[in-house]
Chain A
Amino acid sequence: MTDELDSLDPNVRWIVTEARRPVPADAAARDRLIDAINAEPVPSRGLRLVTWLLQPRRLVLPPLATAALAAGLVGVGVLGGIAINRDGRPAAVQLPAAAAGQTQLPDSLAPRAVKFVLIAPQATNVSLVGDFNGWDSGASPMKATDGTWTVFVSLQPGLHTYSFVVDGRHFVSDPTAPIAPGDGFGHRSSVVLVRQPSL
Chain B
Amino acid sequence: MRSSLLRAIALLAIATTVSFAQDTLDPAADPLRRLDPSTRYAVEMLMDSARLARLPYGPLESKALEGIAKRANGRDILVAVRRVFRALRDARAALGPSATADELTAAAGALRAGIAASELSLLAATRNGKPLTMPLVVLADLVTRGVPRDTAAFTIFQLWQRGAADDDFLGLWRSVERDIVSGTNPSVALLNRAREIPAKGPSTAVPPAAGVRPEDAKS
**Interface residues, chain A, with chain B CB atoms under 8 Å away:** 66-67, 70-71, 73-74, 77-78, 81-82, 86, 129, 131, 134-137, 158-159, 161, 163, 165, 171, 178-187, 189, 191, 193, 195, 199
Chain B interface helix/strand/loop/mixed: helix
- Interface size for B (C-beta < 8 A) is 49
Return chain B residues, CB-CB under 8 Å to A67: 10
Check A178 against B137 for contact (C-beta < 8 Å): yes
Check A193 against B67 for contact (C-beta < 8 Å): no
**A199–B27 Cα gap in the complex (Å)?**
35
Check B62 against A179 for contact (C-beta < 8 Å): no
**A163–B62 Cα gap in the complex (Å)?**
12
Given contacts A74-B11, A181-B143, A184-B83, 11 further A-B contacts (CB under 8 A): A73-B15, A74-B14, A74-B15, A131-B62, A136-B28, A171-B69, A181-B109, A181-B110, A181-B144, A184-B63, A193-B133
Return chain A residues, CB-CB under 8 Å to B138: 178
With A70-B14, A77-B19, A135-B65 as contacts: A181 and B113 at CB distance below 8 Å: yes
Check A181 against B65 for contact (C-beta < 8 Å): no
With A77-B19, A82-B22, A178-B141 as contacts: A183 and B113 at CB distance below 8 Å: no
Return chain B residues, CB-CB under 8 Å to A70: 7, 10-11, 14-15
Check B28 against A86 for contact (C-beta < 8 Å): yes
Choose, from B47-55, B72-80, B182-190, the stretch at the interface: B72-80
Check A193 against B102 for contact (C-beta < 8 Å): yes
Report, nearest first, the 9 A-B pairs whose CB atoms are least far apart: A184-B80, A131-B62, A178-B141, A181-B113, A135-B69, A135-B65, A159-B102, A185-B70, A70-B11
Check B70 against A187 for contact (C-beta < 8 Å): yes
Return chain A residues, CB-CB under 8 Å to B18: 74, 77-78
**A191–B141 Cα gap in the complex (Å)?**
9
**A199–B166 Cα gap in the complex (Å)?**
8
- Interface residue? B58 (CB, 8 A): yes
Return chain B residues, CB-CB under 8 Å to A137: 69
**Interface residues, chain B, with chain A CB atoms under 8 Å away:** 7, 10-11, 14-15, 18-19, 22, 26-31, 58-59, 62-63, 65-70, 72, 76, 79-80, 83, 101-102, 105-106, 109-110, 112-113, 131, 133-134, 137-138, 140-141, 143-145, 166, 173
Check B27 against A159 for contact (C-beta < 8 Å): no
Check B141 against A199 for contact (C-beta < 8 Å): no
**A194–B19 Cα gap in the complex (Å)?**
37
With A71-B14, A159-B102 as contacts: A136 and B66 at CB distance below 8 Å: no
B27, B69, B138, B173 pick with most chain A CB within 10 angstroms: B69
Return chain B residues, CB-CB under 8 Å to A134: 27-28, 31, 65
A73, A77, A180 pick with most chain B CB within 10 angstroms: A180
Return chain A residues, CB-CB under 8 Å to B15: 70, 73-74, 77
Check B62 against A135 for contact (C-beta < 8 Å): yes
**A64–B194 Cα gap in the complex (Å)?**
78
**A70–B8 Cα gap in the complex (Å)?**
9
Return chain B residues, CB-CB under 8 Å to A199: 131, 166
**A159–B68 Cα gap in the complex (Å)?**
21
Check A159 against B133 for contact (C-beta < 8 Å): yes
Return chain A residues, CB-CB under 8 Å to B106: 159, 191
Tell me the nearest residue of chain A to B66, going by C-beta.
A135
